[in-house]
Amino acid sequence: MDGIFVGIDLGGTNVKIGCFDGKLKLICKTSAATESNMGPDAVVDRIAEATEKLLADNGLSMEAVESIGMGAPGPSILAEGIIIASPNMPSFKNVPLRKMVSERFGRPAVLENDANAACWGEYVLGAGRDVQDMVFFTLGTGIGGGVIINGELVHGFADNAAELGHIIIYPGGRSCGCGQKGCVEAYASANSTAIRATEAIGAGADSSLKKVLEKEGEITCKDVFEHSAAGDELARQITDETAKALAIVCINVLHTTEPKRIVFAGGMIAAGEMLLGRITDFFNEYIWSMKKETVEIAFATLGEDAGIIGAAALAKQAKDGGKRKSD
């Protein structure tokens, strides 16, 4: 059989691991707790053991693995495979992760930013598989991004391009964890959406979300979307502000790299058409009248597997020496 490509999606809490064939078809996958507090060496060991078990359980061996792709969070020096720092993995400081993984596995490895890896997965096999120019947003606790131009990920001059959650849309506005004010992440992430609802109720707004807050002690973004769908006016307003912020950032990336498709991923897209429809409505309301725009705004299709698929695809691409989609 063809060689196998391993895709690893390293997160602060969990690490996902997938084995793919040469056509990027998923053979098997698993996940494990990251336990980053144990330090980088222990994390790499844990990943290697989980991968070896996954391979063995499926009648495969490390010898069949061609190469390993890995998406990881935080600023990195990609050409050298080093993670500079990672807010959710404080023990990872200037860690030569690619070298460590490659040595532990005895196989070539590539490192990519985690949002870029998921973007690449959607580009190769998901919501962007039929386009060459795409912009990607992950809507989760924070907002991550990826930009693809002419079939290539944009890394920027120092590997920190596509930090799209930190595009400022309301200068002087809400404080973001990054130190800026008015970032789209400070309005439209799952956390920010929940926080805005909680604040509004704290300020005396009437809403069916009040009971959730009283009972659960907190409101989640999912609650906001559910109560919006059920007709609660405050939840509808909060949802609209999220959609509006995302529409503005769609307009801004359109006027910068002009993608053919803008793809949203992450837990928030479970809201479905209620959210996508409002983003599109606001986009159409706020976009210029100079020409009719044909950019498509869509939701991701690969779910949580986007990261491992993208990482494996990048491993395969590095081996093939090419840059285009596999087909």
Which residues would be at the binding site for a copy of itself (CB under 8 A)?
75, 84-85, 131-133, 147, 149, 154-164, 166-171, 176, 178-181, 244, 248, 251-253, 255-260, 286-291, 294
> Nearest distance from residue 148's CB to a copy of itself, in Å?
11
From the list 61, 4, 305, 105, the residue with the least C-alpha distance to 97 is: 105
Residues 272, 267: Cα–Cα separation, whole Å: 10
> Quick one: 157 or 217, whose CB is closer to a copy of itself?
157
> Quick one: 179 or 321, whose CB is closer to a copy of itself?
179
Amino acid identity of residue 239, one-letter, is T
**In which region does residue 24 sit, left (phi positive, over 0), alpha (psi from -120 to 50) or beta (all else)?**
left
> Nearest distance from residue 282's CB to a copy of itself, in Å?
9
Amino acid identity of residue 99, one-letter, is K
> Quick one: 122 or 305, whose CB is closer to a copy of itself?
122
> Quick one: 75 or 108, whose CB is closer to a copy of itself?
75
Asked if residue 110 lies in contact with residue 132, where contact means CB atoms within 8 angstroms, the answer is no
| Per-position DSSP letters for 44-78, written without gaps between them | HHHHHHHHHHHHHHTT--GGGEEEEEEEE-S-EEG
> Nearest distance from residue 26's CB to a copy of itself, in Å?
30
> Quick one: 19 or 162, whose CB is closer to a copy of itself?
162
> Nearest distance from residue 247's CB to a copy of itself, in Å?
9
> Nearest distance from residue 171's CB to a copy of itself, in Å?
5
DSSP classification of residue 172: T
> Quick one: 26 or 161, whose CB is closer to a copy of itself?
161
| Per-position DSSP letters for 114-140, written without gaps between them | HHHHHHHHHHHHSTTTT-S-EEEEEES
> Nearest distance from residue 134's CB to a copy of itself, in Å?
9
